[in-house]
C-alpha cells in the first residue's frame, strides 16, 4: 500500500541503516548513514515478510528486502550529478508549492557536495545486487 506522507522529502537527506541493513549483503560496506537524493511525498507499507534495511527522518521506509533477491528503494541511489539540478528545474512548480524543501540553487550546491561519495557507495550496492541476482 502506498499513501501520501503529507510532507515532501526532496533534496539530499540522510538515510540510516537498520541493524538488519548493516548485516545485509546488499548494503555491505555501506556507511551507517549517508546523504542520498530524495524526491517523493509518499510512503509505502512494508510487504508481508519484508525486512526494513534503511529509513530517514522524514520517511521511515527507504530500503527493504523481501526474500533473498527482491529489494525496494524509495531513495535515489541511481542519480547522476546532472539529475538533481535538472529535476529541480523541471519540477520547479512542485518545489515552489512545497514546504521545507531546498531551492534549485541549494539542490545544485548539495549535489556537488554529496554526489561524489554517493557514487562510490551506490556502485558497491549495484555490484552487490548484481552478485545476488546471478546466484
Q: Inform me whether the pLDDT recorded for 135 exceeds 80.
A: no
Quote the domain boundaries for residue 28.
2-134
pTM of the predicted model, to two decimals? 0.92
Length of the chain: 135
Please report, for the domain that includes residue 48, its CATH number. Answer: 3.40.50.880
Report the pLDDT value the prediction gives residue 133, as an integer from 0 to 100: 87
What are the tens digits of pLDDT across the range 31-86? 999 999 999 999 889 999 999 999 999 999 999 999 988 999 999 999 999 999 99
How far apart are alpha carbons 6 and 90 in whole angstroms?
Answer: 22
What residue spans of 6-101 are helical by DSSP H?
Answer: 19-23, 83-90, 92-96
Q: How many domains does the chain have?
A: 1
Amino acid at each position: 500500500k502506498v499513501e501520501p506522507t503529507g510532507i515532501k522529502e526532496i533534496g539530499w537527506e540522510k538515510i540510516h541503516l537498520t541493524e538488519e541493513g548493516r548485516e545485509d549483503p546488499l548494503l555491505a560496506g555501506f556507511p551507517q548513514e549517508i546523504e542520498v537524493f530524495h524526491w517523493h511525498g509518499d510512503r509505502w507499507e512494508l510487504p508481508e515478510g519484508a525486512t526494513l534495511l534503511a529509513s530517514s527522518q522524514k520517511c521511515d521506509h527507504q530500503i527493504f528486502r523481501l526474500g533473498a533477491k527482491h529489494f525496494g528503494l524509495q531513495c535515489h541511489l541511481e542519480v547522476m550529478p546532472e539529475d538533481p539540478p535538472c529535476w529541480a528545474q523541471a519540477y520547479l512548480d512542485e518545489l515552489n508549492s512545497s514546504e521545507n524543501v531546498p531551492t534549485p540553487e541549494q539542490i545544485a550546491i548539495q549535489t556537488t557536495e554529496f554526489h561524489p561519495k554517493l557514487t562510490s557507495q551506490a556502485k558497491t550496492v549495484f555490484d552487490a545486487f548484481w552478485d545476488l541476482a546471478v546466484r
